[in-house]
Amino acid sequence: MRWIDHLTSELNSHDNLCLVVISRVEGSTPRELGAMMVVSPDGFWGSIGGGMLEHDALYQAKTMLNASPDDRPSGQRFWRDYPLGPSLGQCCGGFVSVLIEQINRTDQSHWQDLAAKQSGFLILPDDAQKPVYWSDQPTGHKELGGGLVLPLTPESVPLYLYGAGHVGRAVIDVTGGLPLDRHWVDTSADRFPDDIPPDVTVISASDPAKIPQYALKGAIHLVMSYSHQIDLEICAEILKQGHHHKIGLIGSATKWARFRSRLKQMGIAEAVIDGIQCPVGLKAISGKEPARVALSVAGQLAEWTYADARASTRNPEDLIPLKRQPS
């Protein structure tokens, strides 16, 4: 679920909410620019890093939500700066500015209109009196004012997971929080479990080796079907298509040696074959239980998809400055 869909859903049952966002970072910080929470009077969704930073931001948001209208800060939003030192009980050493956006039930139609956009960006203006607006560009509109930029749909990497066996199921279980657009492939519908996360696209294909022809460009492919022959055919087709980002193959050193030999016999260049990582996963996590293998693979995916999130394209000097309070 997109963060804005969660927010508009919460407005159906609450008179007011807060959107809490990391709006500026300097130095070492627990979360990146753009990390957020949706806070209601009785709970919250998301995280800006945990610890005392998150604890105090939640306190500020809930205090505002529970205050009378006359006691709330004026304007749509306000900012609070945090030096991450001894005074906050954290030793990151950096500085964080947190933006707290006030959202009332009377704003519901406006936020529903924003949520109806399937792509683009929301701009939270530096002028606290101006409302959030939508833009098709991350730079916003000059006449409406610059501000913090939040993508409506976070960037994600397409993932094609071939195999709905024990390891495949465990991988699906532990990768829900990663920035992945997950596609799950196997030979028949009855090979999949009954409960599948709503964000996972299930593909039942009698010949899984045909799927790479239609896969999104820049995708990660994880190959772990019930058949070595199917795995080989899938790997060969991915390499032939040549528009993948990464390929991970489950298996032993013996399996990989055989695959390398077979792929070379198919006329695939050795340098291209070297693009497959087998066995896939982090070497530091050993063991053959499905849960351990899945954690190892998830760690590998985290490495392959890691990027510092950036909520604003403006130069740092154009952002609202942090007040460097002593720790």
Question: Residue ranges of the chain with pLDDT lower than 70?
Answer: 1, 85-93, 307-327
Residue listed under structure tokens 């609202």: 320
Q: Given this model, what pLDDT does residue 76 score?
A: 84
Q: Given this model, what pLDDT does residue 199 score?
A: 87
How many CB atoms within 10 Å of residue 215? 21
Report domain extents, the chain: 3-154, 157-305
Q: Strands (DSSP E) along the chain, which ranges?
A: 16-26, 36-40, 43-46, 77-83, 95-104, 121-125, 133-135, 147-151, 157-162, 180-186, 201-204, 219-223, 244-249, 276-277
Exposure on the CB side of residue 5, measured as CA atoms within 13 A: 9
Of 70, 23, 99, the closest CA to residue 312 belongs to 23
The structure's pTM equals 0.71
From 3.30.565.10, 3.40.50.1100, 3.40.50.720, 3.40.50.620, which CATH number describes the 157-305 domain?
A: 3.40.50.720
DSSP 8-state symbol, 173: H
Whole-number Å distance between alpha carbons of 212 and 4: 32
Q: pLDDT digit string (tens) for 257-289?
A: 999 999 999 999 999 999 999 999 999 998 889
Q: Given this model, what pLDDT does residue 91 score?
A: 59
Q: Given this model, what pLDDT does residue 310 score?
A: 45
Residue listed under structure tokens 């050795």: 270
- All residues at 6 or more sequence positions from 304 whose CB lies less than 8 Å from its CB, including other chains: 157, 220, 245, 246
Q: Which residues of 14-27 are buried (b: 16+ CB within 10 A; e: fewer)?
A: bebbbbbbbbbbbe
Q: Give 247's strand partners.
A: 221, 276
